[in-house]
Amino acid sequence: MSANLRKVLTRSLYGSRRCLSSSAASNFVRIVDVSPRDGLQNEKAQVPSEVKLELIDRLTDCGVQTIEATSFVSPKWVPQMGDAKDLYPQVLAKYSGNGRSYPVLTPNAKGLEGALAAAERAGRPLEEVAIFGAASEGFSKKNTNRSVDESFKAFQEVVEQAKKSNVRVRAYLSTVIGCPYDGATDPQLVARLTQRFLEMGCYEVSLGDTIGVGTPSTIERMLSEVMKSIPADKLAIHAHDTYGQGVANVLQAVNMGIRVVDSCVGGLGGCPFANGATGNVSTEDVVYALHGLGYQTGIDLNKLSYTGEWICSKINKPNGSKAGKAIITKLEKAKL
């Protein structure tokens, strides 16, 4: 699709009421691959740190711009991320300054302190962290042991300290379509909480369909409400693929002007505190669809497909990416 045609379509589909921004006309979609964090956090067997580091290495080599490296959360809550303080200095020492971003989750002041200490050990600056809240009380309590309001108090501390340390803060807002405990989410609440994160000083809010119940229609309804007051270039979409709607939901968001998409190779992932949620939308499937529409991601899809296959084999999971599997089959046949 030409840039002009895309512009015309975007305008005619989404009218002037929405806060479109210059990003809406951009041909580049930034992929935030969250496999080393969201992709692995729910794995019961401990994934060796060397495997996590190789995953980050491979994703970097594929051309992924942003790779979420790990979480500084309580190891009692998420044991899989318990190696963050040893792993993250190695990540920063190797990649810091390469023009990419390797953010980590920091839900509270203690998490930020851990990330800053890791950066100090690496002798490199901490550039970016992410905080995560929810648009439903049930999930907020299960995920962070705090009500929505209480969690925002903890985030305020993180953002203030991060500002002093020159660290960029991204925010996640989970359960933007539905919550496993509270049911359907009100789009107006999503808009208000997104605004709250931005007013606090976060540079971007990733809207999470944590349990993957969204469809293009409910994503459209939610984004229409949010985009009445918030420009597309402050937003990202984070789709889980429980009902097989992940790619369709991502494309709906991209059609509405969003240019940042979270995903996981091999369709890995899930949150330990979101009952019934399965993996994230697969990065390979998203990149295949985006490239097919004429968008650029800077990602080598062949290498990405082998990366998804590789990590799935390392953790004994079937590869959840249809595009990834098809590309590998084609490439292997061509070698014969």
Task: Give the residue numbers annotated as catalytic, written as ranges.
Answer: 271
By CB under 6 A, name the one of 7, 19, 27, 77 that touches ligand HMG: 77
Per partner kind, with CB cut-offs from 5 to 8 A, the member of Mg ion, ligand HMG, none near residue 39 is none
Nearest to 55 by CA among 311, 255, 309: 311
- Give the residue with the Cβ less far from ligand HMG, 115 or 254: 115
Nearest to 67 by CA among 87, 42, 48, 45: 87
Per partner kind, with CB cut-offs from 5 to 8 A, the member of Mg ion, ligand HMG, none near residue 172 is ligand HMG
By CB under 6 A, name the one of 88, 102, 132, 155 that touches ligand HMG: 132
Question: Which residues, at least 6 apart from 46, have a Cβ–Cβ distance to it below 8 Å?
Answer: 79, 80
By CB under 5 A, name the one of 38, 68, 128, 209 that touches Mg ion: 38
Q: Say how many residues touch ligand HMG, by CB under 6 A.
A: 27
Q: Whole-angstrom Cα distance, residue 178 to residue 210?
A: 8
Side-chain-side CA neighbours of 170 within 13 Å: the count stands at 25
- Give the residue with the Cβ less far from ligand HMG, 20 or 105: 105
Question: Which residues, at least 6 apart from 119, have a Cβ–Cβ distance to it below 8 Å?
Answer: 88, 89, 92, 125, 126
Give bridge partners of residue 173 from the DSSP assignment: 133, 207
Q: What is the CA radius of gyration of the chain?
A: 19
- Give the residue with the Cβ less far from ligand HMG, 92 or 327: 92
By CB under 6 A, name the one of 39, 89, 114, 266 that touches ligand HMG: 114
Burial (Cβ within 10 Å: 0-12, 13-18, ≥19) of residue 318: exposed
- Give the residue with the Cβ less far from ligand HMG, 190 or 271: 271
Residue 123: CB minimum distance to ligand HMG, A = 22
Residue numbers of the site for ligand HMG (CB under 6 A)? 38, 41, 71-74, 76-78, 105, 107-108, 110-111, 114, 132, 143-145, 172, 174, 208, 210, 238, 240, 271, 273
